[in-house]
Amino acid sequence: MKKIALALGLLGLTALANAADPLNGSVWKTIDDKTKQPKAIVKFTEQKNGTLSASIQKVLTPGEENACTKCEGPYNNKSLKGLKIVHGLKNSGGTSYEDGTILDPSSGKTYRLKGQVVEGGKKLELRGFIGVAALGRNQTWIRAN
């Protein structure tokens, strides 16, 4: 009986270790940190390497849905819908995330990214920065699903 319980316990731990990240598949409404207005609907997807990316599903600001005109390289003049703005975000334990990057389509700049899910999963607090986190900007996204 003890061996069966131990085996089931180990199977359960293995399943938990292989479970997808809680952000995987979640949908968020981005809120502009300056205007406090909703900008877009973004969906997170877990990549094969275990990191997370996020793509714009819908642009909420009229007149800004057509192209990433200030973006450089492969993002230049790409439609914002479907644009992957978060790359390489890693779960650093519990509800904390780090080591990602985020593209700001308004400026075309890419920033390092870290964040944390708060308020029981209702909000995602993100910090985009260059160099040190102290020199950056905060945004709070609201869960949309």
**Cα–Cα distance, 143 to 145 (Å, whole number):** 6
pLDDT at res. 20: 72
Mean of the per-residue pLDDT values for the chain? Answer: 85
Tell me the pLDDT tens digit for each residue of 11-46. Answer: 443 334 445 788 999 999 999 888 889 999 999 999
Fold of 22-143: Lipocalin (2.40.128)
E strands within the chain?
A: 27-31, 38-46, 52-59, 84-93, 96-104, 109-118, 123-129, 136-143
CB-based contact 61:37 (threshold 8 Å): yes
pLDDT (tens digit per residue) in 89-124: 999 999 999 999 999 988 899 999 999 999 999 999
| Extents of the domains making up the chain | 22-143
DSSP secondary structure letter of residue 119? G
Name the nearest CA neighbour of 60 among 77, 78, 35: 35
Say what the pTM is: 0.82
Three-class SS of residue 26? coil
